Amino acid sequence: MILCSRYSITFTSAKCEYMKVSGIDIESNIENIKQQIEADNTLSPSMRTAMDLLLLIVTLLCQRLGLNSRNSSKPPSSDPNRNKKPKNNSDKNTGGQKGHKGSTLPLDDNPDVFHKLTVDRELLPPGNYKDLGVETRQVIDIEFKRVVTEYQAQILEDECGNRFVAPFPDGVNCNFPT
């Protein structure tokens, strides 16, 4: 148990195998250091508290070394020495294979926006040029916009004062108090 009295931090640790790093028993070394701190009367209370806090941090960091995907929320890809599944190596190249008929998105016959691009003749070398036509490319953008549809239902009133309101389509509800 590690106790940091000034900051009221209490941490209880069970003896675990992950408290050994590179063959060094961290937990027993921390206990020895704590006994030396308690035996030393020349240390100030603030120094004792600082040492306790540092020992707590060392203990917590050592315990994090033993975490893996089975005993924490870490993903399996971060496990040390995990068995990686071999990739299915193939003799085929990536991408479309020979003989595969590719397809592209067909041009839209009625584009919403049209831009005519002309060649800046000042950038061309001197000479006579004839117009051969155009090269067409289209960029498809998807726009999300707010569309407000208002429904106005006719209200009729007869000679007796009875009101008749045209019915709204299904799904059109009153959103405000009437």
Q: Average pLDDT for residues 130-140, to the nearest whole number?
A: 85
- CB 88, CB 94: distance < 8 Å: no
CA distance 37 to 46: 12
> Residues, the chain, total?
178
Copy the structure tokens of residue 72: 């924490």
Q: What is the pLDDT of residue 6?
A: 41
Report yes or no: 19 and 63 within 8 Å, Cβ to Cβ. yes
Prediction pTM value? 0.34
Q: What is the pLDDT of residues 153-176, one digit of tens each?
A: 888 888 888 888 888 888 888 766
Highest mean pLDDT among 16-20, 24-28, 80-84, 117-121: 117-121
Confidence of residue 14 (pLDDT cuts 50, 70, 90): very low
Q: Nearest-CA neighbor of 166 among 153, 152, 157, 156?
A: 153
Q: Where are the domains of the chain?
A: 2-76
Reduce the DSSP state of residue 60 to 3 states and report it: helix
Residue 177, pLDDT above cutoff 70: no
* Average pLDDT for the chain: 78
